[in-house]
């Protein structure tokens, strides 16, 4: 069957705040959306975004200085015309990997998202963040976020979705909040799981000899591996017997050919990262981008920055599923 092409003027529209390198943007593009504007301040993220989405206008700067009026002017829309406002405010302040302070200034960037949401009044909004925002002491922050979003004139609902059930070969849980403008009279909802998880062998087996950006294991980790011949070991006791302490060991992960890859993090300092199943190296950038759901054609500037981008991104297939659900179950209903 020939591909059905939607005329550009008929495509649903989206603006991406905190756009990063474009993981969400790619998902929306795959779902047939037209991106009117991307907002991002990180230099390398913007460089990477422009490499892959040269047709999308970018506001490269501090979101706190972007007014709703200027945002609408750059996107060529009026208040209330936008279909979807998407955003993933930086999440380090909520992350369970950090100190998780309620007052972390990085958490306040959500207020900039809410400000632009109020000004633009899109039909639908999508906000993505780490699951740490709904755990422990951060539950109060989550409840305040929901109150704020609903106060902007929206019915809002949050769910935890794991990307591995949405055609992403990686276990990556994220809180997805979807809101629908109250005057539309439609309840927000989320997509259902789309399939079984993909094991690593099905994803990167053909790249196992890839040596284009090798990051080899440190001598300490090689000693840990050799304590149990023919298989990698995550036994912290072995690690401690060699290093003398377990510093960094809990953020080091061994991949398994017959398992789903664990969550890729943005930081590869010291002994952190994901170790290849049967090579004395960490996973390569090419492998990481496949594990995150990016096509091989997606371009990054270099390994170090590329791993940061992949570790920070919303997996494109997950966002594609969310965008398709919004397109078919919310936007199509209100037409």
DSSP annotation string for 40-81: E--HHHHHHHHHH-TTS-EEES-GGG--HHHHHHHHT--TTT
Condensed to tens digits (0 to 9), the pLDDT of residues 277-287 reads 888 788 999 99
What's the CA angle centered on 160, arms 157 and 163, to 5 degrees? 125
Query: How many CA atoms within 13 Å lie on the side-chain side of 315?
Result: 27
| pLDDT greater at residue 259 or residue 248 | 259
Give span(s): CATH 3.40.50.150, the chain. Answer: 8-195+314-334
Fold classification of 200-310 is DNA Methylase; Chain A, domain 2 (3.90.120)
Q: Give φ, ψ of 184 to 5 degrees.
A: -80, -20
| pLDDT greater at residue 59 or residue 234 | 59
For residue 103, pLDDT over 60 is answered with no
Average pLDDT (230-236) is 55
Domain 8-195+314-334, CATH: 3.40.50.150
**Which of 71-75, 84-88, 227-231 has the lowest average pLDDT?**
227-231
Catalytic residue of the set 91, 152, 203, 261: 91
Q: How far is it, in rounded angstroms, from Cα 38 to Cα 55?
A: 11
Structure confidence at residue 4 (pLDDT): 46
Structure confidence at residue 236 (pLDDT): 63
Q: Give φ, ψ of 261 to 5 degrees.
A: -65, 145
Structure confidence at residue 184 (pLDDT): 97
Give span(s): CATH 3.90.120, the chain. Answer: 200-310
Write down the H helix ranges in the chain.
23-30, 43-52, 68-75, 109-120, 139-151, 200-204, 219-226, 236-243, 285-291, 303-312, 316-326, 332-334
| pLDDT greater at residue 309 or residue 226 | 309
pTM of the model: 0.88
Condensed to tens digits (0 to 9), the pLDDT of residues 321-330 reads 999 999 999 9
Q: Give φ, ψ of 35 to 5 degrees.
A: -85, 125
DSSP label of 33: -
For residue 137, pLDDT over 70 is answered with no
Q: Tokens 């005057």 appear where?
A: 183
Q: The tokens of 112 are what?
A: 């900039």
Structure confidence at residue 134 (pLDDT): 64
Tell me if residue 71 is catalytic. no
- The dihedral region occupied by 119, where left means phi > 0, alpha psi between -120 and 50, and beta the remainder, is alpha
Q: How far is it, in rounded angstroms, from Cα 98 to Cα 92?
A: 7
For residue 255, pLDDT over 90 is answered with no
């Amino acid at each position: 069957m020939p591909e059905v092409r939607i005329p550009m003027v008929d495509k649903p529209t989206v603006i991406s705040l905190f756009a990063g390198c474009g993981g969400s943007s790619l998902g929306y593009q795959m779902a047939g959306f037209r991106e009117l504007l991307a907002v991002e301040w990180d230099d390398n993220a913007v460089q990477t975004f422009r490499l892959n989405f040269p047709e999308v206008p970018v506001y490269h700067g501090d979101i706190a200085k972007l007014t709703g009026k200027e945002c609408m002017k750059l996107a060529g829309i009026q208040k209330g015309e936008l279909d979807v406002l998407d955003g993933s405010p930086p999440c380090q302040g909520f992350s369970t990997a950090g100190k998780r302070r309620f007052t972390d200034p990085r958490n306040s960037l959500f207020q900039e998202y809410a400000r632009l949401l109020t000004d633009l009044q899109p039909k639908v909004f999508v906000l993505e963040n780490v699951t740490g925002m709904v755990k422990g002491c951060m539950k109060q922050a989550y409840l305040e976020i929901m109150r704020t979003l609903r106060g902007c004139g929206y019915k809002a609902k949050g769910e935890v979705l794991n990307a591995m059930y949405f055609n992403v070969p990686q276990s990556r849980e994220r809180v997805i909040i979807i809101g629908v403008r109250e005057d539309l009279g439609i309840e927000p909802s989320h997509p259902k799981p789309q399939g079984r998880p993909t094991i690593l062998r099905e994803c990167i087996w053909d790249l196992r000899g890839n040596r284009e950006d090798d990051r080899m294991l440190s001598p300490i980790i090689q000693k840990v591996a050799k304590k149990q011949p023919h298989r990698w070991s995550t036994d912290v006791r072995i690690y401690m017997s060699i290093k003398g302490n377990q510093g960094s060991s809990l953020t080091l992960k061994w991949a398994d050919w017959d398992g789903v890859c664990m969550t890729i993090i943005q930081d590869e300092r010291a002994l952190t990262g994901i170790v290849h199943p049967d090579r004395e190296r960490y996973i390569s950038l090419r492998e990481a981008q496949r594990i995150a759901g990016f096509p091989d054609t997606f371009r990054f500037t270099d390994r170090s920055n590329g791993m940061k981008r992949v570790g920070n991104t919303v997996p494109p297939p997950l966002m594609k599923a969310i965008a398709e659900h919004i397109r078919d179950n919310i936007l199509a209903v209100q037409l």
